[in-house]
Chain A
Amino acid sequence: MSFKAKFKRWFHSWASPKWFFEKSERWLPWLGVPALSLLAIGLVWGLIFAPEDYQQGNSFRIIYLHVPAAILSQSIFMMMAVAGAINLIWRIKLADMAAKHCAPIGASFAFIALATGAIWGKPTWGTWWVWDARLTSMLILLFLYLGVIALYSAIDNRETAGRSTAILSLVGLVNIPIIKYSVELWNTLHQPATFKLTEKPSMPAEMWVPLLIMVIGFYLFFGWILFKRMRAEVIEREFKAKWLQKKLIEN
């Protein structure tokens, strides 16, 4: 079989909740175990063994939760919009389930980023909250998530809800750069991004390696939680299907 045919087959298998339900059972430990171990390693390394910051002392250590949560909340929005687009174009039910469950997870990460940012801001800036550009755009990202969740729960028909929120999250995706840019023009106080793909990190390796571990751990953790929630959604939607009933009785 040619690569193209293989890819096509692989892509099409995602349309089947049954395929996903059976496969993901085997994927879960491959996500969950590395996720939890990376999080444990990163936390212990970052919170205990990484050196103190010469200006901020120990208070900088919250970076090991703050930065990964902030990165994840933005990535998840992107994934939610892409999953929504796949649902709009190919009407793949799994994409709808993924988009639906991205929203609450992403909103939680956005909230964690805001909360840890407030806790971090108190010792370093002397205040829990400032109307700074990056804080404000994170708050707006949380609003976008809450809008998506509110729209999903307001529509009774499941298919309509999925497709409507898909449009909303696509509109959100297009607007996020515009909002970010306008908010940045408006006010800037926050330090620039910690990780840039094109530049060497400005902190020593003992500090950024655990941070990188935390970021990867957060991504795996997200994948793990997402798949668990999607499996629950498959059970909820397909509970009448014979294959699922058989599967559930077997376990």
Chain B
Amino acid sequence: MPADLGFFALLSRDIKLAFRQKSDIINPLMFFVMVITLFPLGVSPDPNELAAIAPGIIWVAALLASMLSMENMFRSDFEDGSLERMLVSPMPGFLIAIAKVVTHFLVTGLPLVFIAPVLAYMLSLPSEAYGVMVISLLLGLPTLSLVGAIGSALTVGLKRGALLLPLLVIPFFIPVLIFGTGALQGVIMEQPVTGQLSLMAALLLFSLASAPFACSASLKISMGNG
């Protein structure tokens, strides 16, 4: 047994799988871009109006894109039985959860962060807000992955899981959305935003310390041996 209990082996396997099955990376990204395209069409192409709602649009779209891919966090491993093998292995459940969450963030969260400035420009977000937007996404998206992992673990074996997962996790995403858009709006109104960013960092650390355990317990219950 390696010193990291197989954590990095699992991580590199999952990332490798994601890169071979490129749709895992591209689909959430396409979704993000397309949802954002809907807003100028639906609301108004006027740059001033768009700039006012750009923080909300970017954050809501990022949240939805990240959530849509959460359903697959454990599903393929559940279906081919490898999840069950992982859970009976000496690897602690919370490490499995962290590996899955890190993969989810790297595969779906990080690409969103890279493309967000382009979309922010298209939504006429003031340029001084770009830095804060990237930081807030970097702090918020991993939190979403961590919390979403619990919901994903609870619904992993269910046939109706796809529609159920958003119902379970959206309420928990609200603080991230509030602080994320709050930080962006703060920059636009030239107010200090360290408060919001610190709170987002606090949320990230808190969920990092607690969510993997809840996720591991949920996985064991879903597999019928909790």
Contact = CB atoms under 8 A, between A and B. Distances in A.
Given A143-B170, A171-B172, A172-B171, A160 B221 contact: yes
B175 to A, nearest CB: 4
A44 interface: no
Interface in A157-176: 157, 160, 163-164, 167-168, 170-172, 174-175
A207 B107 CA distance: 58
A147 B168 contact: yes
A174 B147 CA distance: 12
Contact of B150 (A144, A150, A171): A171
Contacts of A160: 221-222, 224, 226
B59 interface: no
B22 interface: no
Given A160-B221, A163-B226, A154 B171 contact: no
A33 to B, nearest CB: 38
Describe B's contact surface by its main secondary structure. Answer: helix
B108 interface: no
Describe A's contact surface by its main secondary structure. Answer: helix
Interface stretch (B39-47, B68-76, B154-162): B154-162
Contacts of B10: none
Interface in A137-162: 140, 143-144, 146-147, 150-151, 154-155, 157, 160
Contact of A185 (B171, B182, B217, B224): B182
A183 interface: yes
A96 to B, nearest CB: 13
B5 interface: no
Interface string B64-94: 0000000000000000000000000000000
A164 B155 CA distance: 9
A100 to B, nearest CB: 15
A235 interface: no
A48 interface: no
Contacts of A178: 175, 203
A171 B178 CA distance: 19
Contacts of A171: 147, 150, 172, 214
Nearest to B170: A143
B136 interface: no
A76 to B, nearest CB: 16
Contacts of A154: 155, 158, 160-161, 164
B218 A164 contact: yes
Contact of A150 (B164, B203, B218): B164
Contact of B154 (A151, A157, A179, A186): A151
A144 B179 CA distance: 20
Contacts of B210: 174
- Of A157, A170, A171, A181, most buried by chain B (CB within 10 Å of CB) is A171
B168 A168 contact: yes
Contacts of A175: 171-172, 175
Nearest to B168: A147
B189 interface: no
A13 interface: no
B179 A182 contact: yes
B167 interface: yes
Given A150-B168, A154-B164, A157-B224, A179 B158 contact: no
B115 interface: no
Nearest to B211: A171
7 contacts: A150-B164, A150-B168, A154-B160, A155-B158, A160-B222, A168-B154, A181-B175
Q: Nearest 10 CB-CB pairs, A to B?
A: A182-B175, A147-B168, A163-B221, A182-B178, A143-B171, A186-B178, A147-B167, A164-B154, A140-B171, A144-B171
